[in-house]
Amino acid sequence: MSTPPYQLNTEWLRRQLDPFPARKLLLDFDGTLAPFAVDRMSVNIYPDVLPVLERLNNNPRTRPTIISGRTIADLERLIPLTPLPELWGSHGLERRHADGSRADRPLTSAFLTGFHEIAQWAGTALPAEAVEHKATGIAFHWRGREAVEAAAMRERIDTEWSHHLEAFDMVCHEFDGGVELRFEKGTKADAVRVIRDESGPEVLLAYLGDDWTDEDAFAALNPPSLAVLVRPERRPTAAQLWLKPPEELATFLTIWGEFGDV
C-alpha cells in the first residue's frame, strides 16, 4: 500500500530501530494488548503476546509503559506483569511510576460537582453494568447490546448532559463500545508529551494503540518516533504503521526486544 498506515515489514522496522540505542515503548491496553470482552474486568492479554511482553518487562532496557483510559486501580488488577511497569491511567490524569509512587493531576471542583450529579442520575436511569465510575469521569458502555438499545442510551445521555458538560469542566469522548463523560484536561497525548519531554530527543518512542482516543497520542509523536495502529481492520489514522493483532503485534514486540539482548 502506498499510503500510511503501512503493513509491517520486519526489515524496515529493524532499519528504523537500529540507529537508536535508547528507546521507549508506550502501549495502550484494551484493544491493543488485550482483545475486548463484554465484562471489562475479564480481559486478558493475548496469549501469544504475553510471553513477549513479560520478556520486555524483565529487561530494564525494554520495560514498557502502559497508557490507558482505565483507572490505575483497574490496570493494577488486570496487568499480570511482575514487577508492574510504569502505568498511566484515566487518559493521562493518573501516573504510577514503576517504583509504585504516584503523580496524579488535580481535579477541579466544577468537575467533582458534575461527576456527582451525573453519577446520581446514572444510578437510576441506566443499568448498573453499563455505568463505570472512574476517578476522572463516568463511562457508559453498550458493547454487546442491540444497536437500537445502544442508540437509545446514547440519546438519553446526550439529552440529559451535553449542555452541562462545559460548566462541569467535562467533555464527551467516544470510544469503541461507548462514551465517557470525563475531565477535559486529560488525554493520552498529555502522557505522551510528558514522556517525550522527559526522555529527550535521543530516545526513540513508539506508541501502540487501537482506538480513536489513541489518535491524539499518535499525533503527539515526532518522527522518527513510531505511531502504530493495532487493529484487526485498517482505518484512517495518524499512525504510520498498522499491526494486525495478535501475530503482527507479537512480531513487532519481539523485534523491539532484540536490542535489549546486546
Interface ranges with Mg ion (CB under 5 A): 28, 30-31, 210-211
What is d(CA 262, CA 65) in angstroms, rounded to the nearest whole number? Answer: 21
| C-alpha grid cell, residue 219 | 499525533
> Shortest approach of Mg ion to residue 58 CB, angstroms?
24
Beta bridge partners of 226: 206
At CB < 8 A and 24+ separation, what contacts does 117-123 make? 117/164, 117/168, 118/161, 118/168, 118/181, 121/160, 121/161
Pairing mode of beta strands 170-175, 178-183: antiparallel
132 or 210, CB closer to Mg ion? 210
> Shortest approach of Mg ion to residue 39 CB, angstroms?
16
Helix (H, G, I), strand (E, B) or coil at 41: coil
> Shortest approach of Mg ion to residue 234 CB, angstroms?
16
Candidates 114, 243, 101; CA nearest to 170 is 114
> Nearest residue by C-beta to Mg ion?
31
> Shortest approach of Mg ion to residue 32 CB, angstroms?
5
211 or 216, CB closer to Mg ion? 211
> Shortest approach of Mg ion to residue 68 CB, angstroms?
7
12 or 36, CB closer to Mg ion? 36
245 or 257, CB closer to Mg ion? 245
From the CB of residue 214, how many other CB atoms can be counted at a distance below 10 Å?
Answer: 30
180 or 210, CB closer to Mg ion? 210
| C-beta separation of 228 from 243 below 8 A | yes
> Shortest approach of Mg ion to residue 31 CB, angstroms?
4
From the CB of residue 256, how many other CB atoms can be counted at a distance below 10 Å?
Answer: 20
Instruction: Give φ, ψ of 20 to 5 degrees.
Output: -115, 95
17 or 34, CB closer to Mg ion? 34
